[in-house]
């Protein structure tokens, strides 16, 4: 992927970040770029509940967003669900 395409993705993602962060239950959203494959991006988000995350994933906004950005993300998405067991200092 050329630098212009990476810049296009970064600009697009920046324009939708606030919309994603404003989704009910989303407490954090970050995007990372693979340093070895600069055309591959990953996102990390924290949601209050799995239901909140699923509601977002079923939304029309997400479906359109994912259709647009999917080519820039890793071939296999990974999702983790967990319960917080300790508070760290």
The arithmetic mean of pLDDT across residues 1-10, rounded, is 78
Query: Does residue 28 form part of some domain?
Result: yes
Query: Does residue 35 form part of some domain?
Result: yes
Q: Among the listed ranges 6-10, 45-49, 64-68, 73-77, which one has the minimum average pLDDT value?
A: 73-77
Distances (CA, A) of 9 to 2, 49, 60, 73, 81: 11, 28, 20, 10, 27
Look up the domain containing 13 and give its range: 3-72
Q: What is the CATH number of the domain that holds 30?
A: 3.30.70.100
Q: Please choose, from the candidates 30, 29, 24, 79, the residue with its C-alpha nearest in 3D space to the C-alpha of residue 55.
A: 24
Count of domains for the chain: 1
Distances (CA, A) of 67 to 44, 48, 77: 18, 25, 14
The arithmetic mean of pLDDT across residues 20-42, rounded, is 82
What is the per-residue pLDDT across 45-70, written as a single tens digit (0 to 9) for each?
889 999 999 999 999 999 998 888 88
The pLDDT score that the predictor gives to residue 78 is 57
Query: Does residue 84 form part of some domain?
Result: no
**Which residue intervals of 1-89 are DSSP H helices?**
3-21, 50-57, 60-69
The pLDDT score that the predictor gives to residue 16 is 86
């Amino acid at each position: 992927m050329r630098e212009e395409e990476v810049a296009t993705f970064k600009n697009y993602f920046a324009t939708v970040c606030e919309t994603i962060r404003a989704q009910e239950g989303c407490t954090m959203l970050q995007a990372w770029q693979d340093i070895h494959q600069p055309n591959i991006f990953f996102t990390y988000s924290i949601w209050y509940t799995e239901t909140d995350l699923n509601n977002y994933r079923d939304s029309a906004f997400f479906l359109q967003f994912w259709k647009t950005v999917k080519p820039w993300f890793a071939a296999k998405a990974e999702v983790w669900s967990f319960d917080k067991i300790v508070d760290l200092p």
